Amino acid sequence: MTSQTDPALTIEAGNPEPPVAQKIPKTYVVHGETRIDDYFWLRDKDNPEVAHYLESENAYADSLTRHTSALQEQLYREMVSHIKETDIGVPFREGDYFYYTRTEIGKQYPIFCRKQAAKDAGDGNATEEVILDQNALAEGQKFMSLGGMSVSEDGKLLAYSTDNTGFREYTLYLKNLQTGELSSERMEKTGSFAWAADNRTLFYTVEEESTKRHYRVYRHVLGTNPTTDTTVYEDPDERFNVGVELTRSRQYLLIESGSHTTSEWRYLRADEPQGEWNLIAPRVQDQEYQVDHHGEEFFIRVNDTGRNFRLVTAPVHSPGRENWSELIPHRANVMLAGMELFADFHVLLEREDGLPHFRITDFKTGEWHRMSFPEPAYSAFPAQNREWETTRFRYAYQSMVTPNSVYDYDLQDRSSTLLKRTEVPGYDQSQYRAERIYAVAADGARIPISLVYRNDFKRDGSHPMLLTGYGAYGYTYPVNFSSNILSLLDRGFVFAIAHIRGGGDLGKVWHDQGRMMNKKNTFTDFIAAADYLVNERYTSSDRLIATGTSAGGLLMGAIANLRPDLFKAVIARVPFLDVINTMLDESLPLTIPEYEEWGNPNEKAAYDYMLSYSPYDQLEAKAYPALLVKTSFNDSQVMYWEPAKYVAKLRTLKTDSNPLLLKTNMAAGHGGASGRYDLLRETAFEYAFMLWQVGKA
Catalytic position from the list 263, 632, 635, 636 = 635
Spatial separation of the C-alpha atoms in residues 244 and 227, rounded to whole Å? 20
Catalytic residue among 550, 614, 636, 674: 550
3: buried, middle or exposed (CB in 10 Å: 19+, 13-18, 0-12)? middle
In sequence order, what are the beta bridge partners of 69? Answer: none
> 203, 219 in Cβ contact below 8 A?
yes
Q: Distance between alpha carbon 321 and the CA centroid of its chain, in Å?
A: 32
Q: What is the DSSP string of 73-123?
A: HHHHHHHHHTS-SSEEPPPEEETTEEEEEEE-TT-SS-EEEEEEPPSSS--
Rg (CA), the chain: 26
Burial class (CB in 10 A: 0-12, 13-18, 19+), 567: buried
From CA 51, how far away is CA 631, in angstroms rounded?
A: 13
Residue 388 to residues 95, 148, 327, 343, 670, Cα–Cα distance (Å): 10, 21, 21, 6, 35
Contact criterion met (CB below 8 Å) for 108 and 115: no
- b/e map of 621-641 (b: 16 or more CB within 10 Å)? eeebbbbbbbbbbbbbbbbbb
Residue 463 backbone zone (phi > 0: left; psi -120 to 50: alpha; other: beta): beta
| DSSP structural state of residue 655 | -
Q: Per the residue annotation, which of 260, 293, 346, 670 is the catalytic one?
A: 670
Active site residue 635: yes
**DSSP assignment, residue 69?**
H
CA 491/CA 690 separation, integer angstroms: 11
Tell me if residue 453 falls in helix, strand or coil.
strand
Least Cα distance to 451 among 472, 466, 429 occurs for: 466
Closest by CA to 243, choosing from 274, 283, 273, 203, is: 203
C-alpha separations of 52 from 6, 16, 123, 204 in Å: 10, 16, 57, 39
- Return the half-sphere exposure (C-beta side, CA atoms, 13 A cut-off) of residue 618: 23
Q: Which residues, including other chains, have CB under 8 Å from residue 12's CB and lie 6 or more apart?
A: none
At CA 481, angle to CA 476 and CA 484, rounded to 5? Answer: 120
CA distances from 11 to 8, 19, 70 (A): 5, 10, 20
Which residues, 6 or more positions from 291, have their beta carbon under 8 angstroms from its beta carbon? 254, 256, 265, 267, 280, 298, 299, 300
Residue 670 annotated to the active site: yes
State the catalytic residues: 550, 635, 670
